[in-house]
Structure 1
Amino acid sequence: MAASAHTTGSQSAAPLLDHLARLTRARSEAVLGKLGLRPRHLVCLTVLRDHGEVSQQDLASVLRMDRTNLVGLLNELEEQELIARRRSKEDRRRHVVGLTTAGERRLRKAEAALGDVEDEVLGALDADERATLYRLLRQATGSHMDCAAAVVEAQADGDDAC
């Protein structure tokens, strides 16, 4: 882990990150709403695309959601036919969740719309500056993102992670 580089006053990144997050969130929620999605739907669809079919229990762990809340989220996605749930062949007590073709299409549309939002919010940055910002944000969030991926892998192996 890098040494602390605590900054104060006008050099603090936190208020600027918060402002960019608020701008991005407001615009993102608006474009996602037009597609019948909310940010939590997008995260779930992205996890399913990136990791393939996964048990509801593992999905709850990756999303850091209570299982009851996850069921509500999955119900919303299933009503739109964006995901499909089925009983696990290995353990009939478990449900497996997967992305449908319609879910893949909607996710692609959402990602394209969010790309437009990003172009709007980060329009003052050129391509190299955006690449640097992305690299720095990945670096800053790396341990958190790695933990989510580790949960899926570890639980598939029957272990615990993070």
Structure 2
Amino acid sequence: MNAYERGTGFLLARLGSLTARSWTAFLAAHDLSQGQYAVLVTLDEHGPQGQRRLAGLVAVDARNIVAVLDSLAKRGLVERRPDETDRRRRTIALTEQGHALVKAVADAAAEEQDGFLRALDPAERAQLNVLLKRIYASHVGGTA
């Protein structure tokens, strides 16, 4: 191993790259993009949302989320409903098929993560997560 390969920055960058490629391939195998998955998980966690609020939760421009929602609606994973307080607006909700896909992908992702972290035992995985959260929080604010 070269000297630069022992550096923390190099290792984090390299593992980040490997993780990103692995995650992208994993989502592609489930016929999802990162944006689509973010919308599905957000709706699963927060329930039905107005389009503008949903865009904010997934950190996407409200105009750009329309294509993502169209693709998910076409697949029967989300539905647009009239807003109960303002009929001109639409609320986005997961369908039963959408809920089932989120669960299936989450279960498969847990297995994928186990494979990626196979060199670590459960206690080491937990410690790694604690340390990474602490570093992340120190750069983006918040608590670990």
Q: TM-score range by the shorter chain?
A: 0.7 to 0.9
Q: Which residue of 2 aligns with 1:157?
A: none
Matched residues, number: 138
Alignment match of 2:30 (pick from 23, 26, 35): 35
What are the residue-to-residue correspondences of 1:16-55 with 2, within 5 Å? 16-55=11-50
What TM-score do you get using the length of structure 2 for normalisation? 0.82
Q: Residue 130 of structure 1: CA displacement?
A: 0.7
Alignment of 1:78-157 (within 5 A): 78-141=73-136
Q: Measure how far apart 1:66 and its partner are.
A: 1.1
Q: In structure 1, what is the Cα distance between the partners aligned to 2:25 and 2:108?
A: 10
Bigger relative CO (Cα 8 Å, ≥ 6 apart): 1
Aligned partner of residue 63 in structure 2, secondary structure: helix
1:25-55 CA-partner distances (Å, limit 9, x unpaired): 2222222212211122111111111111111
**Which secondary structure state, in structure 2, belongs to the residue aligned with residue 67 of structure 1?**
coil
SS of 2:92's equivalent in the other structure is strand
Distance (Å, rounded) in 1 between the aligned partners of 2:96 and 2:135: 33
Q: Distance in 1 between matches of 2:141 and 2:60?
A: 16
Q: CA separation of 1:83/1:13 partners in 2, compared to 1, >3 Å: closer, same or farther?
A: farther
Q: Which moved more, 1:110-119 or 1:100-109?
A: 110-119
Q: CA 1:129–1:75 in structure 2 vs 1: closer, same or farther (change >3 Å)?
A: same
The TM-score, its normalising length taken from structure 1, stands at 0.74
Contact 1:87 1:95 in 2 (8 A): yes
Structure 2 residues without counterparts, runs of 5 or longer: none
| Worse overlay, 27-36 or 54-63 | 27-36
AA aligned opposite 2:80: R
- Structure 1 gaps of 5+ residues are 1-8, 147-162
Which shifted more, 30-39 or 46-55?
A: 30-39
Aligned-partner Cα distance in 2 for 1:103–1:35: 12
Q: Deviations over 1:92-138 (max 9, x none)?
A: 22211111111111111211222222122211111001111222333
Alignment partners' CA distance in 1, 2:113 and 2:57: 25
8 A Cα contact 2:50 2:89, kept in partner: yes
Calculate the aligned-residue CA RMSD, in Å. 2.3
Deviates more, 1:18-27 or 1:91-100: 18-27
